[in-house]
Amino acid sequence: MKDTRETPSVSRRDFLKSAGCLTIAIPLFGNCWLPEAEKTFAEELPGSLNRQPQISAWLEVLANGKLRVYTGKMELGQGIRTAIAQVAAEELDMDMSQVEVHLAETGKTPHEGYTAGSGSIENSAMSVRYAAAAARQKLLELAAVKLKSSPAKLTMANGHVLVAGGKEKLTFAQILDGKQITDEVRLPVKLKDKTTYRLVGKAIPRTDIERMARGEQVHIHDLRFPGMLHARMVRPPAYSAKLVSLEESTLKKEFPGIVKTVVNGNFVGILATDEYEAMQAQAFLQKHIKWETGQNLPVEDLPTHIQKQATKTEQVKSKGEKPDSPSISHKASYFKPYIMHGSIGPSCAIALYDQSVLHIWSHSQGVYPLREAMSKMLELPPDQIHITGVPGAGCYGHNGADDAAADAALMAMAYPGKHIRVQWSREEEHGWEPYGSALSVDLEASLDQSGKINYYGSNVWTDSHSTRPGGDAATLLPARHISKPFQMQSAGYTGGGHRNAEPYYALPNLQIQAHFFEGPLRVSSLRGLGAYANIFALESFMDELAEKAGKDPLAFRLTHLEDERAIAVVKKIQELTKNEKRGKNEGMGYAFSRYKNTATYCAIAANVWVDSSTKEIKVKKMWACIDAGEVINLDGIINQTEGGMIQAASWTLKEQVTFDSQHVSSLNWATYPIFRFSDVPQVEVAVINRPQEKALGAGEAAQGPTSAAIANAVYQACGKRIRQLPIEAALRQS
């Protein structure tokens, strides 16, 4: 795939230098329709637009009259490119084919932090919507002057402004005469009446899916440049290992295609003209290099170990008091191991240092934060680092993409003038990526005489849930290995560990505490952060409490819910599954959550078959009902939810990172099994569209309730309460 993107113009780069930073996210989209009265004036601007209010930061009219939209977000397989094109085309009455979306690129697109936390729709897509609406008004005003009319007598269609009832029309390019709209977006912004929508809320397929299915060049892994060189890293055998010696002279004799061997502290890289020779040289050097292995990893029981390691406690929520003599009380402990992103395509990056600017092509989820960390690692001013975002294999979190980019950068600086491509192996990806933290959760609750919860207590043990690049260079793996190594300056984002630990139910007395530890493995963001483990524990516990109260599990949940939108998704799941017949050894399980307790509502049901003798488990079908507010792309929200359920089912049944005293030992798909096509169940998704509500992100809503629904179904199928993930391993040991 040749790079045909424009080099960022100096004027645009300078224009965006002053842009602020925002931490954000992944998307949403939209089957049940609940129309209500519309508001046509925006009451507040999204965070991204507040920080970068210039219309021209988000939209550019091209010479051919088409529209280019800029987003600081990365396409991760969530369909954000399509959703953003939809809102822009809608507000400007254009066809989708007339809108192109330019993804994250430093100096070119707005600084929108990370593509994370299910916030891309709320922030980036809504910023584009309001910028397009403001641009519409400006275009009508300018066209009115040229057409000797008034804005009220003009209409828009397919990239033209037309005089109502007449034949006169102008393209957007003709109206602007080669200029751009430099106005700032200011309230009030008149949005298009939602009852007239042609595109938003519809199921518009992603065009890149067809390209992928045809095997066309789409991802960073496909990108090629003339004369490009290939790099491979030789990793230490352990996190704390130190280089003693390597046989560089022997390496050059064995592999004449080696251009350079880069040794910088414990960072070792090989540069070759041929990729296969680079791989062979990497394997050779791994056998002819000596390391001092350093500190051993703990091998004791992991749940016990992490609780003992906690050094800080935070009171997350305290309301009311624990009853002295409850009618019924119950306690249970739950555990989630380390899990990995496990991207099907291992991390990849390309870098070129042209003696003045370091150019990097990466599937990073945050090109601006990556540039900030890279600047510190290389001691190079940010203006001399240009990062272009190119989609990679989906991962939903902080995987090895930024590390591969740092690898490529170090190699490119050591060998200027050539494009340097770094491709990680499967073993590197599995062994060195930042994992989702292990979590331990202790719960207790009591019920009153009517069978309602009158006290709920939760203690969560968690590591950090984000050590993404930014102000700390040590977030980049190679920065820890170079001769002047960087050490982590903080624990990162620890708040994600108690995400959704507080129930969304109406409970009179609550005590929620989080205990923080620094675990043995490298960790960072993984889809849902701590919500996955906390909802697994909470919603498994709700089933256990329902059983103690002698109540139906869904009826028990509805008794404790007050939010009508929450009640609606639970009742929809009830309706979807009411006629399902359970076969022998089958169980039906349910779960509900509102992601972050402020975002998307999601209820899940799972039908699971369990063979009690062989301990084989098969998820036969899963249902979801999701309410993410206003639907932007119906196809997209269904895809997000289906994918979230299937990924979470794989985590729940099969996945755990294993390690020995030296390093991670689950280095391939045999030792780290994931769902195969034969494991994937039938899935059904119902979407409640609420056009009058805020558009929310749906990318992380289904993970937590899916885990609990499966665990609850396993209990119904075989009578075993599984509280330690993954379920397959726990069931075999029971």
pLDDT at 13 over 60: no
- Position with higher pLDDT, 140 vs 396: 140
Measured on CA atoms in the order 706, 712, 716, 722, is the torsion positive or negative? positive
230 within 8 A of 423, measured Cβ to Cβ: yes
Q: Centre a 10 Å sphere on the Cβ of residue 263 and count the other Cβ atoms it contains.
A: 14
422, 246 in Cβ contact below 8 A? no
Of the listed ranges 114-123, 176-185, 580-589, 655-664, the one predicted with least confidence: 114-123
Are 683 and 568 contained in the same domain? Answer: yes
Q: How far is CA 470 from the centre of its chain?
A: 17
Domain range for 253 is 225-301
Number of folded domains that form the chain: 4
Strand, coil or helix: 336 = strand
Q: Summarize pLDDT for 195-206 with one digit per residue, the tens.
A: 999 999 999 998
- 534-547 residue pLDDT tens: 999 999 999 999 99
In a shared domain, residues 181 and 279: no
Domain end point (choices 387, 403, 431): 431
pLDDT band at 18 (very low <50, low <70, confident <90, very high): very low
The DSSP-derived string for 388-401 is EE---S--SB--SH
- Higher pLDDT: 460 or 79? It is 460
Mark whether 646 and 616 lie in a shared domain.
yes
How far is the C-alpha of 719 from the C-alpha of 582, rounded, in Å?
Answer: 15
Average pLDDT, the chain: 92
pLDDT band at 9 (very low <50, low <70, confident <90, very high): very low
Q: Do both 14 and 82 map to the same domain?
A: yes
On whether residue 658 sits in a domain, the answer given is: yes
Provide the pLDDT for residue 261.
96
If asked whether residues 404 and 505 sit together in one domain, one would say no
Same domain, 395 and 478: no
Q: Which of 87, 105, 88, 98 is nearest to 12 (CA)?
A: 105
The residue among 437, 400, 618, 395 whose CA lies nearest residue 527 is 395
355 backbone dihedrals φ, ψ, rounded to 5°: 80, -10
SS3 499: coil
Q: Which of 301, 328, 358 is a domain's end point?
A: 301
Would you state the structure tokens that stand for residue 400, as one six-digit string? 């090895």
Helix, strand, or coil here: 383?
A: helix
CATH code: domain of residue 280: 3.90.1170.50
Closest CA to 83 of 33, 157, 29, 46: 29
Residues 448, 383, single domain; the answer is: no
Evaluate whether residue 320 is within a structural domain: no
| Average pLDDT of the residues in 162-168 | 84
Question: What sign results for the dihedral spanned by CA atoms 640, 594, 716, 653?
Answer: positive
Residues 293 and 349 occupy one common structural domain: no
CATH number at residue 626: 3.30.365.10
**Residue 348 vs residue 22, higher pLDDT:** 348
Mean pLDDT of 11-24: 33
Residue 201 in domain? no
**Banded model confidence at residue 3, pLDDT cuts 50, 70, 90:** very low
Query: In this model, does residue 65 exceed pLDDT 50?
Result: yes
Residue 24 pLDDT exceeds 70: no
> Per residue in 338-353, is it b (16+ CB within 10 Å) or e — as a string?
bbbbbbebbbbbbbbb
Tell me 504's DSSP state: S
* 186 shares its domain with 234: no
How close are the terminal C-alpha atoms of the chain, in Å? Answer: 51
Report whether pLDDT(32) > 90: no
Give burial (CB, 10 Å; 0-12/13-18/19+) of 63. exposed
> What percentage of the chain has pLDDT greater than the value 70?
94
Residue 389 has pLDDT above 60, yes or no: yes
Which of the given ranges, 106-120, 125-139, 212-226, 285-299, has the highest pLDDT on average?
A: 125-139
Give the model confidence (pLDDT) of 663-716 as tens digits: 999 999 999 999 999 999 999 999 999 999 999 999 999 999 999 999 999 999
**Segment 286-335, tens digit of pLDDT:** 999 999 988 889 988 999 999 999 999 999 999 999 988 778 999 999 99
User: What is the per-residue pLDDT across 402-422, written as a single tens digit (0 to 9) for each?
Assistant: 999 999 999 999 999 999 999
pLDDT at position 666 is 97
Give Dmax over CA atoms of the chain in angstroms.
83
Asked if residue 199 is part of any domain, the answer here is: no
402 located within any domain: yes
Same domain? For 44 and 179 the reply is yes
- What tokens appear for 208 in the block? 């890149």
pLDDT for 551 beyond 60: yes
Burial of 242 (0-12, 13-18, 19+ CB in 10 A): middle
Q: Does residue 2 surpass a pLDDT of 80?
A: no
> Encoding tokens for residue 519?
């675990």
Instruction: For residues 232-239, give the mean pLDDT.
Output: 96
Cα gap 560→564, rounded to integer Å: 12
Residue 3 lies in a domain: no
Q: Which of 150, 172, 192 is the last residue of a domain?
A: 192
Q: Quote the percentage of the chain above a pLDDT of 90.
A: 84
DSSP string, 50-67: HHS-BGGGTEEE-TTS-E
Domain shared by 87 and 188, yes or no: yes
Q: Looking at the structure, do residues 416 and 456 belong to the same domain, yes or no?
A: no
| Residue 36 domain flag | yes
Sign, Cα dihedral of 256, 262, 263, 269: negative
Q: For residue 40, what pLDDT is reported?
A: 59
* pLDDT attached to residue 41: 63
H runs (alpha helix) in 341-433: 367-378, 401-414, 426-432
* In a domain? residue 326: no
